[in-house]
Structure 1
């Protein structure tokens, strides 16, 4: 089973990327966990007649993925532009084959409420592009506590456990949707 992770934060020491790195290192047995690089993807523009190599790479990764895992930061009470842009590009393919019907999981690190508001906005986007995110367990982390080290790596045991539980639930959900 292949999971493709997409992080909405482009910072090197991003705590959201830290969540995804932890998920990658602790993915359930039998899961190949790949983190996409969306840092070079241009803003979506229907006038662009050729897709950039970074867009084509994301499309290739999405086509091969059985499920998608989002690292969802919160910017101004909503999801990050880089994350929305990656979804916008993928959703514009004829018939939406890269996203439609795929299972997904959402995790995020941000301010006092984690990234709860952004995650709920992302869930609304998932409805439109026909992604199917799991409902529980949810992963919300406060990025401004000692849950992360100075490089953005997750060190909090409770959140680590939530991530492992979420990935196990995503495996189950993916198998269910593939029937």
Structure 2
């Protein structure tokens, strides 16, 4: 639903967020607005109006959990971990991390590498996981401009080779 809303340039609101883990999961999914007990308990209207007038958050650490800008695209990638290379998809890529989907479940805390055609393999660590979907925090800030650079045209007569892990035969032109 979040992806569909983003494609339609609509905002989404997640309700009932109570923990840091839930907050990070929902943010990594790309939800635009979040509310719940994590930010504050229900209060009388007078208190809510006073808080709104101050323009302040109820959590003293709210400045630490601001979300980085992200590019909401789906991008194919290669996931490197434990000496293996698997196909994966990236969503909601930011300078600090991305949402990754893969056929394998990978444990939280696993060091990985992601190759999504933007300057080599990007090192990262899995910070949350739910089944075959997980959030990766990059080891170093990633330059989002690398995703916007158009691919250079191939020289005339050049052949694109299909990698052998896709077809079993690297000699086939793609």
TM over 0.5: no
Q: TM-score, normalised by structure 2?
A: 0.26
Of structures 1 and 2, the one with the larger relative CO (CA 8 A, separation 6+) is 1
